[in-house]
Amino acid sequence: MKSNAVRSLVRLGIALLIVLLGLLNYCSSTAENPITGEKQNVQLSVQQEIVLGLEARQQMVAQHNGLHPDPLLQQYVNQVGKQIVERSTAFRSPYPFEFHLLRDSRAINAFALPGGQVFLTVALLRQLTSEAQLAAVFGHEIGHVVARHGAEHLTKHPVSQLPVSAINATTNDRQDKAAVLAQTVKQLVSLRYGRDDELESDRLGLRFMTEAGYDPQGFVQLIQSLGVTRQDGRPPAFFSTHPSPDNRVKRLQTLITQTYPQGLPRNLKNNRELFAQMVKARL
C-alpha cells in the first residue's frame, strides 16, 4: 500500500513539474507587440518568422500558377505595398515586406505569410477599381503580419514546436531540418486565419492605409464590391474566414467615424486614374 502511495505521489510530482515547466515556457515567450500593444505568447522569433515566410514563398507562388509575367505590374503592386508600410506605423515593424502579384486568374484572394511576404492574385486585382482599394487589401494583409497572426497560429497548434527546432537545428541534422521545415511550410501555405484575427487586421489595415494618405472609403467599397461577387455560387476566397460583408462594412464605417469625427480630409487619395492607367490598361 505504501509503495502504491509513493508511486502516486511521484506521478503527481512529475505532472506538477510538467505543468510548471509549461507555465514557465509560456511566460518566458510572452511579449508585448510594439504596434498593437497586445501581449502575445509567440514562441518564434522575428527572424524565425522571416525564414519561414521565405521558405513558404515559393510554394505559395507555385500553388497559384506562378508570378504574373508583367514586370511593370509587379513593380506597381510592390510599390503601393511598400508605400503603405513606409508611410504608416507599420514602418516600426521589423519585417522586410515584399508584395507579389500571382498569375492565378480564378481565385479572388490575397494572403500574407509570417515575416512579411504578401500576395494577391490577378483575379482579385481585376475586381478593384482604385489604388485606395488595393491599399485596403494590402493594409489588411500587413495587419496580419504586424499582429503576428501566423506565428500565433503555429504556437497554438501541435506543429508549433517544429519551426523552432528546425531553424535551430545543427548542420548534422539537415535531413530532420528539411523535413520539419517542409511540414511547417505546408501548414503555412494552407493557413486560414480566424474571425478575431480578420477583424483585427481590418482595424489595423484601415489605420495603415489612412496613415499612408489613402481614402478609407476605398476599404468600404472593396468589401461592398466583393460582397456581391460570387465564384461557383460561393463568395470569393478572400471572404472564406472573414465576417459577413455587411458586418464588416458597419464596423469599418464606425472606425472611420471614430478616426475622423469631423469628416474625411479632402487630401486623402483614391488614385482611380493612376490605377486605371497602371492596372486596367494592362490586364
| Active-site residue, selected from the candidate residues 49, 131, 141, 198 | 141
Q: Could you tell me which residues come within 8 angstroms of residue 136 by beta carbon, excluding any fewer than 6 positions away? A: 205, 206, 209, 214, 216, 218, 219, 222
Bridge-based pairing of strands 117-121 and 39-41 is: unpaired
- Closest Cα partner for 279 from 79, 142, 60, 65? 79
Most confident option among 36-50, 166-180, 245-259:
245-259
Of the chain, the percentage scoring pLDDT greater than 70 comes to 75
Residue whose C-alpha cell is 474571425? 195
- Strand partners for 194: none
Interval 218-228: pLDDT, tens: 999 999 998 87
Q: Is 32 a catalytic residue?
A: no
Residue 54, pLDDT score: 92
- Given a cut of 60, whether residue 167 has pLDDT beyond it is no
Rounded to two decimals, what is the model's pTM?
Answer: 0.83
Burial class (CB in 10 A: 0-12, 13-18, 19+), 54: middle
Interval 92-128: pLDDT, tens: 999 999 999 999 999 999 999 999 999 999 999 999 9
- Given a cut of 50, whether residue 61 has pLDDT beyond it is yes
